[in-house]
Amino acid sequence: MTDFAIYDMDRTVTRRATYTPFLLHCALRRAPWRLLLLPVVIGSMLAYVLKLIDRGRLKEINHRLLLGHNRHPAELKPLVESFAEATLANNVRPGARAAQVPLQEALAGAW
């Protein structure tokens, strides 16, 4: 598999948001005790809605709460892969799925 990232800001590829579900996926599989911090996560989301913090700070707080600090990419790789598999199976719009094969072919030709 080729390492490839998609930033779907307007949800043309996925049906639902992926950032918070990714954090929950990682916490559940890596350190389930971090789910006890969900009330703080919800509090940070409320602070964002009330414009007390910006989106960047919200992501920093929730990343640290649910993943921890200074995670090495190799440590997260299996979690990223399992989340990507679940997302491809359950959260990709049909039109985006149809475009997947031509995209893979284009990427293969680029390397």
In a domain, 40, yes or no: yes
Query: Where do the DSSP E strands lie in the chain?
Result: none
In a domain, 11, yes or no: no
In a domain, 39, yes or no: yes
Per-residue tokens: 32: 């389930």
- Give the domain range for residue 31: 19-110
In a domain, 67, yes or no: yes
In a domain, 78, yes or no: yes
First-to-last alpha carbon distance for the chain, in angstroms, is 13
- Please say whether the beta carbons of 58 and 44 come within 8 A: yes
Binned at pLDDT 50, 70 and 90, residue 111 comes out as very low
Average pLDDT estimate for 63-91: 88
Q: What is the pLDDT of residue 79?
A: 93
Q: pTM to 2 decimals?
A: 0.75
Binned at pLDDT 50, 70 and 90, residue 70 comes out as confident
In a domain, 9, yes or no: no
Domain total of the chain = 1
Average pLDDT estimate for 89-96: 81
Residue type, position 56, single letter: G
35/28 Cα distance (integer angstroms): 7
Q: What is the pLDDT of residues 1-53, one digit of tens each?
A: 556 666 666 667 788 888 899 999 999 999 999 999 999 999 999 999 999 99
16/11 Cα distance (integer angstroms): 7
